[in-house]
Every structure is written in structure tokens, then in C-alpha cells.
């Protein structure tokens, strides 16, 4: 039944990603909406606009949330594909471990970056 648990959350994560990544794509790439979260001239992904978003708590929290669910959804998906290759149980265990470590590592990196830039952006806004 453990797989049922993993798979249920894989599906749920997919639905969350659908909304969050859709929002992400809208903000980053669609011209009409871009100006909402990008007050500075130039592209939505310019350094100024990026810092503006990083100064908002909403974006920091959403980044971390999206990072977490996307890592889970993606790495579980990769694990699914690999597990369909009739591997030895020891190899399967190793894959699970490696993906877990990689996922947690990237989650740590991304979370640190989101919080650090949030602090930088707020300091920059004051200064």
C-alpha cells in the first residue's frame, strides 16, 4: 500500500503544479499580465523585476511550495520509469536513496536561495 500513498501524492502534486506552474508561466512569459508583477521596464525576467518579486513574501512562499511539489512529482515520475526496467531490489533501493538525497538537496538549495534573495531584495528596497 506504500505505493498507493506515493502515487496519490504524485497525482495531487500534479494538480498543484498545474496551477502554480501555470501562474509561473503567465507571470514570466505572457505580455499582457507581465506588468502586474514587473513594475520595471524590460522583460519580466530582468534583474530588477526579479528582485521586485523576491521582495514579496507571496512569491517566496510560492517558489518554495512549487519547488517542493515539482521535485516530488518529477523525481517520483523518474523513479516510476526506472522501476519499470526490472531492476534488482538493491538497485531500486539505491535509486530511491539517490533520488531522495538529490531531491532534498535541491529543495534545500532552492529554499535557501528564495529566502536569501528575499532578504537581499527587502534590504535593497529599503536602501
Closest approach of another protein to the CB of residue 6, in Å = 8
Contact 38, 30 (CB under 8 A): no
Minimal distance, residue 88 CB to another protein, in Å = 11
**Chain residues in the site for another protein (CB under 8 A):** 1-5, 7-8, 11, 14-15, 17-18, 21-22, 25, 29-32, 42-43, 45-47, 50, 54, 67, 70-71, 74-75, 77-78, 80-81, 83-86, 106, 109-110, 112-113, 116-117, 120
- Least separation in angstroms between residue 125's CB and another protein is 16
Alpha-carbon gap, residue 95 to 60, rounded angstroms? 31
Using CA atoms, how far residue 68 sits from 12, 62, 71, in Å, is 13, 10, 5
**59 burial level (CB within 10 Å; 0-12, 13-18, 19+):** buried
> At its nearest, how many Å lie between another protein and the CB of residue 35?
12
d(CA 72, CA 13): 7
As a whole number of angstroms, the distance between CA 109 and CA 16 comes to 21
Amino acid at each position: 500500500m506504500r505505493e498507493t500513498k506515493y502515487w496519490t501524492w504524485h497525482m495531487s502534486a500534479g494538480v498543484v503544479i498545474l496551477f502554480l506552474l501555470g501562474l509561473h508561466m503567465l507571470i514570466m512569459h505572457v505580455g499582457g499580465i507581465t506588468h502586474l508583477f514587473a513594475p520595471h521596464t524590460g522583460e519580466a525576467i530582468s534583474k530588477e523585476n526579479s528582485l521586485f518579486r523576491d521582495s514579496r513574501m507571496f512569491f517566496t512562499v510560492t517558489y518554495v511550495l512549487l519547488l517542493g511539489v515539482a521535485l516530488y512529482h518529477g523525481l517520483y515520475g523518474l523513479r516510476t520509469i526506472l522501476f519499470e526496467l526490472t531492476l534488482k531490489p538493491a538497485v531500486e533501493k539505491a535509486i530511491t536513496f539517490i533520488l531522495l538525497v538529490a531531491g532534498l538537496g535541491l529543495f534545500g538549495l532552492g529554499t535557501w536561495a528564495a529566502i536569501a534573495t528575499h532578504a537581499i531584495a527587502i534590504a535593497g528596497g529599503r536602501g
